Chain A
Amino acid sequence: MPYIPNTREDVRSMLDAVDCADIDELWGKTGISLPKPPLDDIPEGKSEHEVTRHLRSLAALNATNLVSFLGSGYYDHIIPAAVSDIASRSEFLTAYTPYQPEASQGTLQTIYEYQCAVCRLTGMEVSNASMYDGGTALFEAMMLAVRATRKRRAVISGAVSPIFREMIRCYGSNLDVELVEVPSGDTDSSQQALIDAVDGNTACLLVQYPNVFGTVEDWSATTAAVKGKGAVAVCSAYPIALALLTPPGKMGFDVVTGEGQSLGLPLSFGGPYLGFMATTMKLARKMPGRIVGKTTDASDREGFVLTLQTREQHIRRENATSNICTNENLCALTALAYLTCLGKSGFLKVGELCAAKAVYARNLLLAIDGVEAVGDEPFFNEFVVRLPMDAAELVGRMIDKGFAAGFPLGRYYPERGRELLVAVTEKRSKEEIKAFANAMEAAITA
């Protein structure tokens, strides 16, 4: 049997040692004497070769030859080969949570370095060791604020990813926390509307940077205003944008979270991804998730341990900061390897390439008859255009032409049925962008 090394002789001698005549007697002694269930619906085992062939054939049914301008929070970026190679070192891959620090310094130091990298990106003081994804991280940030302020009301901008808002609504459904959604409008008025929605009983304000429409805003005045009312300012950020953008920490945010998929993780049809979370030292003890700290041994050698564990569920049980147990450690390591391999200059260059190509693509699209700009706010690498037709229909036509054209906003914002959210990453060449614009023109006039 694959992966089970016990031979018949091994089984015999072990059964003898535990004083059982056969496996059935062993089961009986463990208290399990129910009849064996039929497993007729489970197919017979197959060889590695056959299973691989089957899965290859399934993989081939998926279209991966589309030239993609689809983002909406999850992006198709270049991943240097060294990144996945580093993360697939089996000593990292096949270890578990570093409960025994002396046998886990490799994992622990990489988490510490990951925490440093997240702090440097976001401009914050302390990061946890990662969370499931951007949506769970934002929800956990809301709960952090609820604990820190002892208030049970949260204000969230309608320009936060609808995927994240759905998740937060779902998790919040049994918790006594009032979630107030402020519809997204144009930048200045919606920031004022957010400030107005925050009252003295509000635990936090949750916003996104850049927002779901790609728009980048200066939040400094808003964070100051809501903090003045006693609320915690939380922002979910797109990490690649932070190559160029003022870090959220400098804009006065108390907690910064985000989806880290862009940091070297393949899209993989939805996961595993990486939620990151960073905050101030003042709020560190309210933060969920594992945290690694630097310390010393008896000979004064530096080393790393899991720390501030009294927040966690295995000690605090129902009073824990969260039920979250494992993090997405391998994904955090991947992100660290990505940031290391790109390095200071490479990461900056990725940001510059994305931003410039997005401007180029937008200009070409706006030159098409009937395609209009939506707002004129600053953006990083994702923007909205209004089409002379239904955006979902156009996306269908573009798929036939070999392009994933973007995300039709009507799915989440019914009044915006003609608007298309277009993302451009450093992967798209000038030729591909031109071909995209040409195909779009043809699809619209078809």
Chain B
Amino acid sequence: MKLIFEKGAPGRKGSSLPDLDVPAETALPENLEREEPPNLPEVSELEAVRHFTRLSRLNFGVDSHFYPLGSCTMKYNPKFHEKIASLYGFAALHPLLPQLRRGGALTQGALAVIFETERLLSFLLGFEQFTMQPLAGAHGELTGVMLIAAYHKDRGDDARKTMLIPDAAHGTNPASAAMAGFDTKIVPTDKDGNVDIEILKSLLGPDTAGIMLTCPNTLGFFDPNTKEICELVEKAGGLSYCDGANLNAIIGRIRPGDLGFDVMHVNLHKTFSTPHGGGGPGSGPVGVAGKLVPYLPVSRVAKRQDGTYALEYNHKKSIGYIAPFYGNFAVVLRAYAYMLTLGAEGLRRVGENAVLNANYVRVKLAGKYEQARDRFCTHECVLSATRQAEKGVHAIDIAKALIDKGFHPPTIYFPLIVKEALMIEPTETESKEEIDAFIDAMLEIAETAENDPDAVRNAPVTTPVSRLDETKAARHPKVSE
């Protein structure tokens, strides 16, 4: 499809603006004035709307397709959340308003949403306090490991420079740890898919800052030794960080704080059902045990004795400002609405059904696809296309064949510790009929891979473009015009 810049005609415009009602005068000298206005599109409103509507139809989204993208929790996003986020009383609110004199009284509703969401998450996950500031999952990870760094620094425990990261953790963990000034050491996974405890023990020592454990891990397994791992790390003087990207599995069933984790981030856009927007915005609140509370980012929302809410800045040990204001507020709003709608019982059902659906898929596909490990998974099952690969059909080919069958593919080639990985996360919001249709498609593809491998290798054929030349894109980058 043509670019928007290639459409329209000179002089055409897609909006109306008020006329100038004051003298046409600016305070800009000529040498700072732009010679030509930016070369933006010149299209009518209809041309703009039609262009983007047509582009949108080239996408697969949760609203149009089953989207079992492992580790991303592509569940349904209730429509009324969007209406709430766009309520004028929230959408038009300037974030600096509560920082002005008498401004706090004018933002009580928004401050209440932040405070109450923090409180609900603290109850639900077993932590002393939450901060809503982190703007995405990886940003939450960074905040979490910065809190660990601040804790050790404050105690003068300067030798604790090593962050332990299992090889079944999320790929962003090492990058986040590095940004918080840590060296990373990898802890291998044992044959059952759990942290190799003996090796972990050998890695623990006076240099241990902590461990970043993805729980459940990226193989989709809950490590039954999690509590023991947290205890071992604590004994060695380190702190345990829970990567909560996979929280959907255990929501309402386990409180990570009870397992001994000191700090955790949650991807609100995953478990708490806010739209993923084609890649953000997300939100990655961080919960902490009591010992890390003093280091939480500022500002913090506090509830006063009279029931009103106020911002606090004066926390001497705080790591400072990790976001310009109070986090991605409109995402927090949606998550708050979600928790209120589901309530305790509903949240418990989320985890149960997510786990049931994933195991159902696993069992139904186990005859045709290798499993990463032969064991019950939690919210996602990791399969492998190694059997198909013998016929020259790889994980990527299976993914493309699924597109032709009208399903968004699972995550592929991740986790890295599984060859030809297919990571399938059905979520709790899909119906059994949809899941069965997906299972049938996967079984058909396995059969085609056996009998007519080329047919799978040539997929997709139903999409506006077939497989694109990524090497050419990287070697001769064309990234703007």
Contact = CB atoms under 8 A, between A and B. Distances in A.
Nearest to B359: A18
B162 to A, nearest CB: 12
A159 to B, nearest CB: 16
Interface string B219-250: 00111100000000000000000000000001
Contact of A246 (B34, B126, B273, B411): B34
A80 B16 CA distance: 8
A356 B22 contact: yes
A142 B460 CA distance: 42
A22 B268 CA distance: 29
A113 B4 contact: yes
Contacts of A125: 480
Contact of A4 (B172, B349, B477): B349
B82 A88 contact: yes
Contacts of B322: 167, 170-171
Contacts of A419: none
Nearest to B65: A103
A190 interface: no
A34 B222 CA distance: 12
B100 A62 contact: no
Interface string B56-90: 11111111110101001011111010111111111
B377 interface: yes
Nearest to B8: A343
B349 A399 contact: no
Interface stretch (A200-208, A223-231, A311-319, A435-443): A311-319
A124 to B, nearest CB: 8
B306 interface: no
Interface string B130-167: 00000111110110001001000000000000000000
Contact of B38 (A121, A269, A328, A358): A121
A310 B474 CA distance: 9
B409 interface: yes
B184 A318 contact: yes
B324 A85 contact: no
A2 B343 CA distance: 10
Contact of A269 (B14, B93, B184, B279): B93
Contacts of A72: 96
A355 B352 CA distance: 57
Given A55-B87, A305-B468, A395 B101 contact: yes
A62 B89 contact: yes
Contact of A344 (B40, B142, B182, B324): B40
Interface string B334-366: 001101111111111110110111011011100
A59 B96 contact: no
A1 interface: yes
A268 interface: yes
A318 B178 contact: yes
A292 to B, nearest CB: 7
Nearest to A242: B38
A389 interface: no
B9 to A, nearest CB: 11
A32 B324 contact: no
Nearest to A284: B477
Interface residues of A, number: 209
A320 interface: yes
Contacts of A150: none
Nearest to A298: B466
Nearest to A396: B101
A275 B295 CA distance: 26
Given A91-B59, A358-B27, A170 B174 contact: no
B324 A134 contact: yes
Contact of B468 (A45, A303, A317, A331): A303
A360 B23 CA distance: 7
A415 interface: no
Most buried by B among A117, A246, A271, A273: A271
A27 interface: yes
Interface in A384-400: 392-393, 395-396, 399-400
A144 B294 CA distance: 31
A104 interface: yes
A231 to B, nearest CB: 22
Contacts of B171: 313-314, 317
B400 to A, nearest CB: 7
Given A116-B480, A330-B281, A404-B97, A46 B176 contact: no
A141 B51 CA distance: 33
A238 interface: no
A303 B280 contact: no
A253 B403 CA distance: 43
Nearest to B80: A48
Interface string A280-315: 010010000011111111110111110111100110
B214 interface: no
A99 to B, nearest CB: 8
A317 B172 CA distance: 7
Nearest to B472: A295
Counting contact residues on chain B (CB < 8 A from A), the size range is 35 or more
A371 interface: no
A362 B282 CA distance: 39
B329 A268 contact: yes
Contacts of A302: 465
A63 interface: yes
A313 to B, nearest CB: 4
Contact of B69 (A3, A51, A96, A126): A96
A262 interface: no
B93 A64 contact: yes
Contacts of A132: 135-136, 139, 281, 323
A44 B366 CA distance: 38
A344 B1 CA distance: 21
Contacts of B390: none
A9 to B, nearest CB: 9
Interface stretch (B197-205, B427-435, B440-448): B427-435
B278 A175 contact: no
Nearest to B227: A34
A358 B430 CA distance: 53
Given A89-B52, A91-B57, A404-B100, A378 B93 contact: no
A218 B477 contact: no
B91 A103 contact: no
Most buried by A among B93, B126, B135: B135
B175 A320 contact: yes
Most buried by B among A39, A273, A318: A318
A342 interface: yes
Contacts of B184: 317-318
Interface stretch (A178-186, A191-199, A332-340): A332-340
B347 A39 contact: yes
Contacts of B419: none
B468 A295 contact: yes
A29 B135 contact: no
Contacts of A91: 56-57, 59-61, 63-64
A295 B472 CA distance: 7
B319 A173 contact: yes
Nearest to A58: B109
Nearest to A45: B343
Contact of B17 (A36, A97, A426): A426
Interface string A218-246: 10000000000000000000000011111
B280 A326 contact: yes
Contacts of B275: 93-94, 330
Nearest to A170: B320
B188 interface: no
B394 interface: no
Contacts of B67: 94-96
5 contacts: A37-B253, A104-B58, A109-B3, A293-B474, A295-B473
Given A6-B356, A243-B37, A404-B94, 10 more contacts: A39-B252, A45-B341, A66-B106, A93-B63, A103-B460, A243-B38, A297-B469, A307-B479, A327-B279, A343-B12
Pairs A-B, 4 closest by C-beta atoms:
A45-B343, A59-B89, A270-B325, A330-B277
